[in-house]
Structure 1
Amino acid sequence: MRPLTDKAIRASFINVSVRERNALVVPADLAQTEWERRDYYGWRDHRNPLLGFIVAEIDDVPVGLQLRQAEQPTRTRPQCSWCADVTLPNDVVFFTARRAGKAGRAGNAVGTLLCAGFECSRNVRRLDPPAYLGHDVAAARDRRIDALRTHVDTFFRDVRDGA
């Protein structure tokens, strides 16, 4: 992912109002972020812990989404829909994203299960122990990274283009 600035992040959001965009609290640690190890940039709002924000490159352009965490926890430990890691060291929660444009203003939304702290990029880059003799762990990691990027792209396009 290419480095982002506060201004670029604010301008990227497609499913928020102008007022919500201006009220965004963008993390101050952008300069310390390892952008080359990120497939998307995500953070939680410290003032409203049910809100989350993610920015990804869709067609080489930063696109941002505001997410809202479901207030009710899931009954069982779910699997993240994006990184699909079965050995997650973190919590997974259900988020909804208001669709962009007219559909979003009408109340339409899309939901997905995600790592609560948006740790997917780190999770897919972890080298797991070999599953069998001769297993190429680096190739498996690369496949997980590609799958994560596909899942992120599909979700963002659904929010942006969905009816």
Structure 2
Amino acid sequence: MEPLDEATIRASFVNCSKGEARRLSMPGRLGEVGWADLDFLGWRDPKAPANAYLVLPRYGEVVGLAMRAAAPHKSQLKRSLCALCQTTHAAADVSLFAARRIGQAGKLGNTVGTYICADLACSLYIRGKRKPSTPTPRVSSTVDDEVARTMASLNKFVDEVLTDNA
């Protein structure tokens, strides 16, 4: 992923108001982000952990989504699968994230949800730079194949958010 500045990130959000985008917490120091290891930038607000954000390159543009995380699962015994990167984690380490749809549908409260690694670090799990708390063998495929599958799943989620079906 190409490095992004704060103005580009804030301007990228499609499912929140400009005021909400201006007020959201940024992901720490952008100069210290390991952009080369990321396919998308994802973070949670440290002051309001239910607030989460994804920013990704999409068809030559940058698209940002504001999301809400469901309450974390308490079990460390059960396992859950991230719908994006297909990494298996303890159930507490995968969250249901809901994003408001754009347009009238979003104004009516319509959302789209999917299960994603709670720390939004799918790119790092794919590359083996971060290990899940309950490691499982990965499917024997290349990193490029896993990145392509993850981004296809993420783009499908974004397509749903960008659908105003009111």
Q: Could you say whether these structures have the same fold, taking a TM-score greater than 0.5 normalized by the shorter chain as the test?
A: yes
- Contact map agreement 1:43 1:52 (CA 8 A) in 2: yes
Specify the structure having the higher radius of gyration (Cα).
1
Which residue in 1 is equivalent to 2:47? 47
Query: Aligned-pair RMSD on alpha carbons?
Result: 2.5
Identity rate, percent: 34
Retained in 1: the 8 A contact 2:38–2:123? yes
Match of 2:85 in 1: 83
1:56–1:62 contact (8 Å) kept in structure 2: yes
Distance 2:107 2:7 in 1: 24
- Distance in 2 (CA, whole Å) between partners of 1:110 and 1:39 is 21
Could you tell me which amino acid in structure 1 is paired with residue 147 of structure 2?
A: I
Aligned residues: 156
Q: TM-score, normalised by structure 1?
A: 0.85
Give the letter for the 1:140 counterpart.
T
- 1:63-102 matches, within 5 Å, as 63-71=63-71, 73=73, 76-86=78-88, 91-102=93-104
Q: Which runs of 5+ in 1 are unaligned?
A: none
Q: CA deviation at 1:147?
A: 0.5
Q: Please give the alpha-carbon distance, in whole angstroms, between the structure 1 residues aligned to 2:9 and 2:105.
A: 23
Query: 1:69 offset after TM fit, Å?
Result: 0.8
Contact persistence 2:79–2:89 (CA under 8 A): no
CA 1:115–1:87: 2 relative to 1, 3 Å: closer
TM-score, normalised via structure 2 length:
0.84
Unaligned runs of 5+ in 2: 130-136
Q: CA 1:99–1:74 in structure 2 vs 1: closer, same or farther (change >3 Å)?
A: farther
| Residue in 1 that maps onto 2:10 | 10
